[in-house]
Amino acid sequence: MSEALLPSQPFFPSPEAVGQQTNGYKVPNHVAIIMDGNGRWAGQRGLPRLEGHRAGTQNLHRVLEALGRHGVRHVTLYAFSTENWSRPPEEVRGLLSILQGVIESEVRALHAKNVRILHLGRLDRFPKRLQREIRRALELTRNNTGMTLGVAFDYGGRDEILEAVKAIVRDGLAPERIDETVFGRYLYTRELPDPDLIIRTAGEQRLSNFLIWQSAYSEFYCSPCPWPDFDEVEVERALRSFGERTRRFGALIPIG
C-alpha cells in the first residue's frame, strides 16, 4: 500500500476535534465532495485527461487527512456518476481501472485507520472483478468505528430515488407508513446522516445528480480550484465558510 494515501495519524477523525469548534468555528458532521476538474487540470498541463484522474486519486490522502484533523466524521466522495458512462469508452475504461487500482492499493490501509467504507450507487454495471473488490472492501471495514467514507461510484440521485420507490412497492408498504425517515432507509445513504456541507471544485455550481434528496438543507461551497489542486488550505477555507453560516432549516432561530 502506498503510505502516500494515508493520514499519518493512526485513526481519524481525530478524537480531540470531534464535536469541537476548530479555531472557533463549527465543524460539519458530514462533508460531501463533488470532485470536479480533473480533465481541465490535465488539459492545462498538456496531459491526457486520464492523468488528471490519476492526480485526482493522489489527492485523496491529504483531503481525508485534513477533514479528519478538523473532526469531520463522515465524508462522501462523488467518484463516478450514472451519467459518466456517456463519456468516450476509453475514458470510462481508464476511470474504472484507476478506481479499481485505488481500491486494491488503499483499502487495507484505510481499514488500518479504522475507516468504514460504504458504497453508494449501483454495482451491477461494473466488471465482476471490480464488484468483488468493492464487496470485499465493504465487508472488511464494516465494523470500523472511525471516519465513515462513502464512495459514490456509479451513483445518480434520480436512480437512487427510483430504486427506493421500486423497493418500497416490492415490500408492499402502505402509503400511510411512508414518511421521510422510512423513505431514507431505502436510499443508498441509509447509514449516513444528510450532508451538512457539499463542496464542488473547479468552479461549477450544480449538483450533477448528486445527493438530490439528501441535500435539501445542505450548505454549498463552490471553489474555483480543480480537484487535483484542492489541498488542506482549501479544505480549511471551505470549513471556515461553513462555520460562518447560519442554518435555520425553515425556522426563525438558528439551529445547530
Residue 80's binding partner, choosing from ligand IPE, Mg ion, none, with beta-carbon cut-off 5 to 8 A by kind? ligand IPE
Which listed residue (84, 97, 100, 105) binds ligand IPE by CB under 6 A? Answer: 84
Q: Say whether residue 36 binds Mg ion (CB under 5 A).
A: yes
How many residues make contact with ligand IPE (CB under 6 A)?
17
Contact 71, 112 (CB under 8 A): no
- How many of the other CB atoms lie within 10 Å of CB of 193? 13
How far apart, in whole angstroms, are the C-alpha atoms of residue 135 and residue 149? 14
Give the contact letters, 64-83, x = binds to ligand IPE (CB under 6 A), - = no: --------------xxxx--
Contact 205, 138 (CB under 8 A): no
Residue number with CB closer to ligand IPE (80 or 230): 80
Q: Which residue has the cell 494515501?
A: 5
Residues 16-35 that bind Mg ion (CB under 5 A): none
Q: Is 84 designated active site?
A: yes
Angle between helix 60-70 and helix 49-58 axes, rounded to 10 deg: 30
Which listed residue (16, 139, 204, 231) binds ligand IPE by CB under 6 A? Answer: 204
Q: Say whether residue 126 binds ligand IPE (CB under 6 A).
A: no
Work out how close the CB of 91 gets to ligand IPE at its nearest, in angstroms, rounded to a whole number: 8
**70-86 residues labelled b (16+ CB within 10 A) or e (exposed):** bbbbbbbbbbbbbebee
How far apart, in whole angstroms, are the C-alpha atoms of residue 28 and residue 26? 7
Q: Is 114 designated active site?
A: no
Q: Say whether residue 147 binds ligand IPE (CB under 6 A).
A: no
Cell of 238: 471551505
Catalytic hit among 23, 29, 36, 229: 36
Q: Which of 202, 210, 196, 200 is closest to 151 using CA atoms?
A: 210
How far apart, in whole angstroms, are the C-alpha atoms of residue 174 and residue 178? 7
Question: DSSP class of residue 74?
Answer: E
Give the contact letters, 187-226, x = binds to Mg ion (CB under 5 A), - = no: ----------------------------------------
Residue 35's binding partner, choosing from ligand IPE, Mg ion, none, with beta-carbon cut-off 5 to 8 A by kind? ligand IPE
- Cα 133 from chain centroid (whole Å): 18
Chain residues that interact with ligand IPE, rule: CB under 6 A: 34-40, 78-81, 84, 95, 202, 204, 206, 208
- The catalytic residue positions are 36, 84
